[in-house]
Amino acid sequence: MGYKSEIIKKIKEGAKIKITGDSLSAGTGSSCCVRTDEIVFKDGEDVFYRKTAPNSWGGLFAKYISEKYPCSSVINKGCDGANTTQLLNNFDKIIDEDDDVVILLAGANDRKRPDGLHELYDNLIKFTELMEKKGKILVLASLNPSTESNEFYINRIHHSEDIETILTMVADEKNLLFVDNYRYIQNYLVASGKKIDDIICGEGCKNDGLHPGDFVQKLMYMNLMETIGFGIRL
């Protein structure tokens, strides 16, 4: 489950691809990102709406798929503010029976929960097992690095590097294809001599130090394409 050749073969033959997770999966921070009136799910008093984000990593991937493999489709149901407990509890509202491949980017909001790291690990394992039971391919993706000021907001009980560690563990233990955005962007920063503060903001960006503008979105798109095994024309 989750091997590159299997994913590419499915997409070439016609696959329904679902992107889900939190605001980083929804494309928050990218230019032209707009909240729609479509509700993905409700969890208590929390209501999670679908967004459109053509210049996000997910939007760029959807554009590539629609142009290169029109028999396949990409639907993004990323949910601003959702933690992995909420995503797991509403699995059937997010994942459709005819989804073939699911790309999950989540964990940033688990930083705010006292037992967030244990919850993240347990929830991802359960999410993976549900995917296996339904015969679907799960691709796990990690968050981008955030600025130091964002990491030390008062509600950050845990930090991005802690989330990255859990995601890496789960991907390894469950043999998942892992789109490691955290390390990919860190490697770019080391090679370019820049800090995340230098590249994270952009037009339409919230400038909060977490949600990336178009430049970082493009890096995440390139990493996704490289990880799956698609060649891209720069």
* Span 46-97, pLDDT tens digits: 999 999 999 999 999 999 999 999 999 999 999 999 999 999 999 999 999 9
Q: Judge whether residue 146 has pLDDT over 70.
A: yes
For the ranges 98-107, 108-117, 146-155, which has the lowest average pLDDT? 146-155
Which residues sit opposite 140 in a β-bridge? 104, 178
The band of 204, judged by pLDDT with boundaries at 50, 70 and 90, is low
The domain locations on the chain are 4-227
Fold of 4-227: Rossmann fold (3.40.50)
Amino acid 1: pLDDT: 45
For the segment 119-146, the average pLDDT, to the nearest whole number, is 98
Average pLDDT for the chain: 96
Quick one: pLDDT band at residue 148, thresholds 50, 70, 90? very high
Residue 210 has pLDDT above 70, yes or no: yes
Is it the case that residue 98 has pLDDT exceeding 90?
Answer: yes
Could you write out the DSSP letters of every residue in the chain? ---HHHHHHHHHH--EEEEEESHHHHTTTSTT-EEEEEEEEEETTEEEEEEE-TTSHHHHHHHHHHHH-TT-EEEEEE-TT--HHHHHHTHHHHS-TT--EEEEE--GGGGGSTTHHHHHHHHHHHHHHHHHHTT-EEEEE-PPP--HHHHTSTT-SS-HHHHHHHHHHHHHHTT-EEE-HHHHHHHHHHHHT--HHHHS--TT---SSSS--HHHHHHHHHHHHHHHT-----
**pLDDT band (50, 70, 90) for residue 2:** very low
Query: If you average pLDDT over residues 116-120, what whole number do you get?
Result: 99
Residue 96 to residue 137: CA distance in whole angstroms: 13
Q: Is the pLDDT of residue 26 over 60?
A: yes
pLDDT of residue 234: 72
Task: Look at the chain and count its residues.
Answer: 234
